[in-house]
Structures are given as structure tokens and as C-alpha cells.
């Protein structure tokens, strides 16, 4: 809470007394808050200001935020540093009032560490495939839509790979779904370790996966698909399983929507299966030349 200057008159009015009482209550609230959530003693709080324990904003930024506090109130989230060096997430609710030409700022701090942790966990569950830990279909679709928009705006190439595991049903039928799950998670890890940070990897459904490669043309995308396919083929899976995968590769065309791009990747994957599995197959849109 911003510190308030004490009243300096000789004959306080009733309003002055109410203000002094409010200031004292506010200071006690700050003491209680800092003693409970931040671990400071009352004398330490007396020597400190919010700039000393805020770990998110620079002092100049924080000062400007306080200067711009409106009488209508506002709120924002930040992080406060505890006396022991740890940080907590807090929500700051602010309000302002004018009294005798002086701007008074009132701040209420609420510890939202647990709430924010819960919110992040809910977001993780909503966007992540529970088995493999990569993006689920909904999240990958959002990433794909965003990358299509970016590629269109800047006229840049964008490639999409769809792959799935060959004869995966045999693994489940022979060894059970626990082993099948381990094969899926291992495959996701193998691919995730071999793609760039700017690429997106998601589980499309069942044993089908997607890899989205920004700034990548068809030739480079097929080379990437071959590296991923080879990594899966040579890996030692549980129970001595020889696991392979087929890959369909395509790139964004001028007339593509999300649905048509995905459909063409699926068609390329179908061709890879048809031509013998354990291979990659590229399929270009009509307006993209192939070498």
C-alpha cells in the first residue's frame, strides 16, 4: 500500500479524524498482510515500501502504475518477494481518492498463488494430451490456425506432417494397452527430441500425430519426416517390438484452409500406407512446384 503523509493541522475536523483512523487501519492491514504472507516484522514493514517487495515490475514501472491509479478502481497481478527469498503471486486491487488536494491511493493485496497454480493446471489439462504430454488435438488445431495466419500475412512457407504407427493394433492385441501406451509415449518423446523449438507437435488421435513446421518448404519437410521415421524404426521398444511409422507430408497452398491442409496431409499418409508403410510420402498443393 502506498504510504500516506500524516495530518499536520492543529484542530482536526471529524473528517480528518476519520481519515487518520482509516490510515491507521490501512497500515495495520499492511502489517498483518506482510507479516502473514511475506514474513516481515512490523518494524521491517515500516522501513519498506511496495517497491522493495515487488519482484515483477521495475521501480519506475511500479511508480507510474501508482500514479495512474483511477478513482474508479483497477486491478492487476504481480509477484511479491517474501522475506525468505521466495515469491508469491498476488492480485492488487487499487483505488484512489482526493482529499485536500492530495491523492490517496488504496491497495488491497490478495495471495493468489494457489488460485493461479490451479488455473495453470486447468489450462494444462485443457491443452495437453494426458498420455504423451504433448499438445492435444484442440490445442494443436489452434496452433495450426495461428501459424496459417502468420504464413499468409508474411508470405512464408509452412509444412505439415501427419504420421501414425504401422500395425499398432497388433501391439495392443499382443502385449496389452499398457505396452501400447508406452510405445505411444516413447514415440512422442523420440519425435519431440528431434524437432525444432519453433515446431509444434500434437497428438491428433489414437496413434496419429502431427508435426507443424514453420518456415519449411516441401523438400525440407520430407527430409525431416525421414529423420523422424528412421529414429522410430531403429529404436528398441519394450518387449523387443519392432515399431515403424508412416508419414504424410504437405505444405500450405495459396487456397488452403486449415481443413484442406489437414486433409491433404491425411491423403499423403494414406499413400505412404498404400505404398508399403514405414515410409514418408509428400503431396504438394496444385500451386506449389515440386523438385
Catalytic residues: 207
Hey, which residues does 165 pair with through a beta bridge? 245
184 and 131 Cβ atoms separated by less than 8 Å: yes
Angle at 286 between CA 282 and CA 289, to 5 degrees: 65
Positive/negative CA dihedral, 67, 73, 78, 79: positive
SS (H, E, C) 158-204: EEEEEEEECCHHHHHHHHCHHHHHHHHHHHHHHHHCCCCCCCEEEEE
244 and 187 Cβ atoms separated by less than 8 Å: no
CA distances from 267 to 121, 165, 235, 263, 285 (A): 36, 16, 27, 6, 12
Amino acid at each position: 500500500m502506498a504510504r500516506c503523509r500524516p495530518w499536520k493541522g492543529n484542530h482536526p475536523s471529524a473528517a480528518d479524524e476519520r481519515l487518520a483512523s482509516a490510515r491507521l487501519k490501512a497500515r495495520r492491514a499492511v502489517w498483518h498482510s506482510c507479516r502473514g504472507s511475506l514474513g516481515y516484522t512490523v518494524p521491517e514493514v515500516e522501513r519498506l515500501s511496495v517497491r522493495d517487495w515487488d519482484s515483477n515490475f521495475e521501480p519506475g514501472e511500479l511508480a507510474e502504475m501508482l500514479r495512474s491509479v483511477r478513482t474508479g478502481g483497477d486491478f492487476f497481478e504481480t509477484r511479491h518477494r517474501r522475506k525468505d527469498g521466495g515469491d508469491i503471486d498476488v492480485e492488487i486491487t487499487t483505488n484512489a481518492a482526493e482529499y485536500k488536494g492530495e491523492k490517496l491511493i488504496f491497495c488491497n493485496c490478495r495471495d493468489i498463488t494457489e488460485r493461479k497454480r490451479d488455473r495453470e493446471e486447468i489450462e494444462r489439462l485443457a491443452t495437453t494430451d494426458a498420455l504423451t504430454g504433448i499438445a492435444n488435438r484442440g490445442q494443436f488445431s489452434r496452433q495450426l490456425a495461428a501459424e496459417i495466419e502468420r504464413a499468409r500475412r508474411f508470405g512464408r512457407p509452412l509444412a505439415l506432417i501427419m504420421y501414425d504407427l504401422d500395425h499398432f493394433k497388433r501391439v495392443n492385441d499382443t502385449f496389452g494397452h499398457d505396452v501400447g501406451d508406452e510405445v505411444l509415449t516413447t514415440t512422442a518423446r523420440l519425435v519431440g527430441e528431434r524437432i525444432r523449438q519453433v515446431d509444434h507437435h500434437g497428438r491428433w488421435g489414437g496413434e496419429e500425430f502431427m508435426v507443424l513446421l514453420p518456415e519449411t518448404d516441401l523438400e525440407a519437410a520430407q527430409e525431416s519426416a525421414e529423420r523422424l521415421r528412421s529414429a522410430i524404426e531403429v529404436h528398441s521398444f519394450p518387449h523387443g517390438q519392432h515399431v515403424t511409422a508412416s508419414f504424410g507430408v504437405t505444405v500450405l497452398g495459396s487456397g488452403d484452409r486449415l481443413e484442406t491442409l489437414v486433409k491433404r496431409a491425411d491423403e499423403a499418409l494414406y499413400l505412404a500406407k498404400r505404398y508399403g508403410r514405414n515410409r514418408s510420402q509428400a503431396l504438394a498443393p496444385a500451386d506449389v512446384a515440386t523438385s
